[in-house]
């Protein structure tokens, strides 16, 4: 405790403290993260059409948004790590910009500005930081917006350079408005900040003088946001229907009462979620449900962050502020509350909700600024002592940092699953005929979107130079194809996601089964799999649609791009299964047998957990029979049957078509 009391942190250490917090919450697992959701589609655009392709891609809803992708894709390329690092830096710089702006707005409350910035870094209402290529735009907007606020404040504080600071502020505001509409309503926070600021620089002014001065200083920003609003609502030229149309505004005109009632419900629900319930999972242990090295690391990091924040805030220099305390609490709470409502309003104005699905928390991003400020104001009100505030903030920030780290661990698993599946597809199908639809029963990667998986598949394989449409697309049977009236042999597809278009249909279909609860291997199905007891009735109904003849073993020198998919992973069980299944399809039984021997040499056997799924030994059984290795075939058949007699029909089918009349083991009791 004596050492802690002797510590002194000056205000210039705040950027370093923010950086260390970012490292703890986001940096530890950053090298293990990859592409998710929209990331795949956006990187595909540059590979298909070059950087200029982003203009057409965004023409549907945000015609000027393309500039960030054009600039930064040219710099960062297609490596996921580069984008992860870039977004990490943007988060850190945004928090630093927030500290600068707030410390200039309330110069004697720099300690509180630091607390707000620290809380902002890990505020848990937004949990999609790993989706870096997509959300770099919003973090870039945050940085521009907060810098713009700081420049506006400097224009008031430094009247001798007011013109230069105002020009820079307007330029930054214009830059962020041209990306997305997410932060546009936050521009309406400026007159409130200017009103508070004018009261500081002109303490003796009357209310009328303050109002005139505030409006005069706000005038250039008001003109800018008015022009933007009119253009965005009435004059924007889009290539199709506006997906972000202000449905609520139009509803207030056509159906005012129901629209107001629904808007009030959504505003209350979302506000409570962003301010209160978003903290519930942070303060529970529900996500740490078992012991593992990862969970142990998360707990240690969370505790370390909490203690570090407590010590730092306890010993961070602080101006005497008792005479301003009550006024600051009221002002900060007011600014924070207004910023929360303005931040979430783009979702509300377009008929969306912040609390809706896996990806809807992106609408809470602009509200993080206000929510962090509001929470620190509340803590200042309920816990005026520095030690109490530092302890509470240390607890909140430490747990929230661990929460983000746990989220990153979840995304790490998603990335590992994606790479595993994509490399398995390449091993099993080194080349696939263009125009092929890949079908699964369910989404192989929940919450990632079929357009995302489809974009990844189109990056995994080469695109024919003379083809206008995409060569591949991924579909799922549920729920679209569950209707029993659908003919599996007459499937037709037309899908468009922005400028990405696919057209296809039967017989250019490959049907896959991927059930991680059963096996980590992907199975390419064929009509011969009708006796497989592990397949659902829905998959069996669509087996006639699957056409493995679309697969070729010759990739013509193509390999998955290493900058996106990494180097080929070490050969484990699923590699041997995929290559054996491909060789089985081609009738290369010697190759299947060689792969079996190599797998045995690495310790894989049907008794080993990692390779214990009976279906994955069927290619090897069929090769043993074709090669006349009856002793090995009998042993493998008996081992499979001992695992579960439910495989009897499938085993009998293989013996009947591949054994050249040899009798199977007696326990099978196959019909003659």
**Predicted confidence (pLDDT) per residue in 401-458, tens digit:** 999 999 999 999 999 999 999 999 999 999 999 999 999 999 999 888 899 999 999 9
pLDDT more than 90, % of the chain: 63
Distances (CA, A) of 665 to 532, 623, 634, 641: 19, 17, 6, 10
Residue range 129-141, pLDDT digits in tens? 999 999 999 999 9
Is the pLDDT at 267 greater than 90? The verdict is no
**Are 364 and 275 a contacting pair, CB within 8 Å?**
no
Gap between the Cα atoms of 663 and 666, Å rounded? 8
Coil vs helix vs strand at 354: coil
Q: What is the DSSP letter of 161?
A: G
Q: Which of 160-174, 259-273, 579-593 has the lowest mean pLDDT?
A: 259-273
C-alpha 308 chain-centroid distance: 29
Cα distances (angstroms) measured from residue 42 to each of 57, 61, 303, 358, 456:
9, 15, 37, 20, 10
Question: For a pLDDT cut of 70, what percent of the chain falls above it?
Answer: 94
Q: What is the DSSP track for 636-655?
A: HHHHHHHH-GGGHHHHHHHH
Residue 345 has a pLDDT of: 84
pLDDT of residue 111: 94
Confidence (pLDDT) at 561: 94
Burial code (b: 16+ CB inside 10 Å, e: under 16) for 232-243 equals beeeeeeeeeee
pLDDT of residue 347: 78
Instruction: Respond yes or no on whether the N-terminal peptide bond of residue 472 is cis (omega within 30° of 0).
Output: no
For the record, the structure tokens of 94 come out as 């945004």
Mean residue pLDDT of the chain comes to: 89
Copy the structure tokens of residue 93.
């710089």
C-alpha dihedral over 453, 459, 462, 465, to 10 degrees? 100
11-21 mean pLDDT? 95
Kindly state the tokens that stand for 438: 């890949």
- pLDDT tens digits, one per residue of 217-266: 999 999 988 887 777 666 665 555 555 565 666 666 777 777 787 778 87
pLDDT at 538 over 50: yes
pLDDT of amino acid 354 = 78
Which pLDDT belongs to residue 324? 83
- 3-state DSSP of 509-572: EEEEECCCCCCCCCEECCHHHHHCCCCCHHHHHCHHHCCHHHEECCCCCCCCCHHHHCCCCCCC
Lowest-pLDDT choice from 21-25, 113-117, 538-542, 666-670: 666-670
What is the three-class DSSP state of 439?
A: strand
How is residue 480 written in tokens? 């679209």
**CA distances in angstroms from 178 to 44, 228, 368, listed in the order given:** 23, 9, 21
pLDDT of residue 379: 94
Residue 162: how many other CB atoms lie within 10 Å: 15
Examine the pLDDT at 582 and tell me if it is beyond 70.
yes
78-82, 167-171, 286-290, 446-450, range with the lowest pLDDT: 286-290
Q: Which residue has the higher pLDDT, 8 or 22?
A: 22
Span 592-599, mean pLDDT?
A: 94
Read off the pLDDT of each residue in 333-360 and give the average, rounded to a whole number. 83
Q: Which region among 43-57, 175-189, 254-268, 325-339 has the lowest average model confidence (pLDDT)?
A: 254-268
Residue 350 has pLDDT above 80, yes or no: no
Residues 6 or more apart whose Cβ sits within 8 Å of residue 238: 59, 60, 61, 63
Q: How far apart are CA 645 and CA 652, in angstroms?
A: 11
State pLDDT tens for residues 622-660: 999 999 899 888 999 999 988 888 988 888 888 888 877
Q: What confidence tier does 286 reach under pLDDT thresholds 50, 70, 90? A: very low
Least confident of 40-54, 72-86, 98-112, 458-472: 458-472
DSSP SS3 for 506: coil
Task: Give me the residues paired with residue 437 across strands.
Answer: 473, 509
For residue 610, what pLDDT is reported? 87
């Amino acid at each position: 405790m004596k050492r802690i009391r002797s510590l002194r942190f000056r205000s210039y250490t705040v950027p370093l403290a923010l950086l260390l917090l970012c490292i703890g919450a986001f940096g530890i697992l950053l090298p293990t993260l990859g592409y998710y959701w929209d990331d795949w589609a956006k990187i595909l655009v540059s590979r298909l059409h070059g950087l200029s392709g982003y203009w057409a891609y965004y023409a549907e809803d945000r015609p000027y948004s393309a500039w960030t992708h054009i600039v930064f894709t040219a710099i960062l390329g297609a490596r996921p790590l580069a984008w992860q690092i870039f977004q990490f830096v943007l988060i850190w710089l945004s928090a630093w910009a927030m500290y600068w702006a707030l410390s200039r707005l309330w110069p004697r409350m720099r300690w509180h500005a630091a607390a707000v910035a620290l809380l902002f870094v890990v505020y848990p209402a937004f949990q999609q930081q790993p989706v870096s290529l997509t959300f770099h735009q919003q973090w870039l907007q945050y940085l521009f917006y907060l810098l713009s606020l700081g420049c506006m404040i400097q224009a008031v504080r430094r009247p001798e350079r007011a013109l230069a600071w105002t020009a820079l502020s307007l330029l930054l505001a214009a830059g962020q408005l041209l990306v997305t509409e997410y932060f546009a309503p936050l521009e309406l926070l400026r007159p409130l900040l200017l009103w508070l600021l004018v009261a500081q620089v002109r303490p003796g002014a009357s209310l009328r003088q303050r109002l005139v001065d505030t409006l005069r200083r706000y005038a250039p920003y008001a003109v800018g946001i008015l022009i933007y609003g009119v253009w965005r609502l009435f004059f924007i030229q889009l290539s199709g229907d506006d997906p972000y149309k202000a449905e609520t505004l139009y509803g207030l005109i056509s159906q005012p009462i129901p629209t107001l009632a629904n808007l009030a419900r959504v505003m209350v629900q979302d506000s409570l979620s962003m301010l209160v319930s978003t903290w519930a999972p942070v303060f529970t242990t529900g996500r740490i449900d078992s012991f593992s090295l990862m969970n142990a690391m998360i707990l240690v990091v969370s505790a370390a962050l909490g203690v570090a924040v407590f010590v730092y805030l306890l010993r961070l220099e602080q101006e005497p502020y008792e005479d301003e305390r009550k006024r600051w609490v009221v002002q900060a709470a007011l600014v924070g509350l207004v910023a929360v409502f303005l931040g979430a309003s783009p979702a509300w104005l377009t008929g969306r909700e912040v609390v809706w699905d896996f990806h809807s928390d992106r609408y809470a991003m602009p509200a993080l600024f206000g929510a962090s400020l509001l929470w620190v104001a509340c803590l200042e009100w309920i816990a005026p002592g520095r030690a109490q505030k530092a302890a509470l903030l240390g607890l909140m920030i430490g747990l929230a940092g661990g929460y983000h780290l746990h989220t990153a661990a979840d995304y790490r698993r998603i990335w590992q699953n994606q790479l595993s599946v994509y490399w398995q597809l390449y091993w099993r199908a080194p080349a696939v005929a263009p125009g092929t639809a890949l079908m699964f029963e369910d989404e192989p990667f929940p919450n990632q979107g079929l357009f995302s998986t489809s974009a990844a598949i189109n990056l995994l394989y080469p695109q024919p130079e003379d083809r206008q449409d995409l060569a591949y697309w991924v579909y799922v049977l549920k729920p679209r194809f569950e209707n029993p009236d659908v003919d599996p042999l007459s499937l037709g597809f037309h899908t468009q996601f922005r400028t990405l278009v696919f057209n296809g249909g039967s017989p250019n279909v490959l049907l896959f089964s991927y059930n991680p609860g059963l096996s980590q291997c992907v199975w390419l199905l064929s009509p011969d799999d009708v006796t497989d007891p592990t397949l659902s009735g829905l998959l069996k109904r669509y087996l006639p649609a699957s056409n493995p003849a679309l697969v070729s073993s010759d990739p013509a020198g193509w390999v998955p791009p290493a900058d996106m998919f990494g180097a080929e992973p070490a050969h484990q069980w699923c590699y041997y299964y995929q290559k054996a299944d491909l060789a089985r399809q081609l009738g290369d039984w010697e190759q299947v047998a060689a792969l079996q021997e190599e797998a045995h040499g690495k310790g894989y056997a049907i008794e080993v957990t990692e390779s214990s799924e009976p279906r994955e030994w069927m290619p090897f059984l069929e090769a043993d029979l074709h090669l006349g290795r009856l002793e090995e075939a009998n042993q493998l058949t008996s081992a499979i049957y001992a695992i579960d007699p439910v495989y009897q029909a499938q085993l009998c089918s293989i013996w009947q078509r591949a054994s050249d009349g040899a009798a199977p083991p007696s326990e099978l009791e196959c019909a003659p």
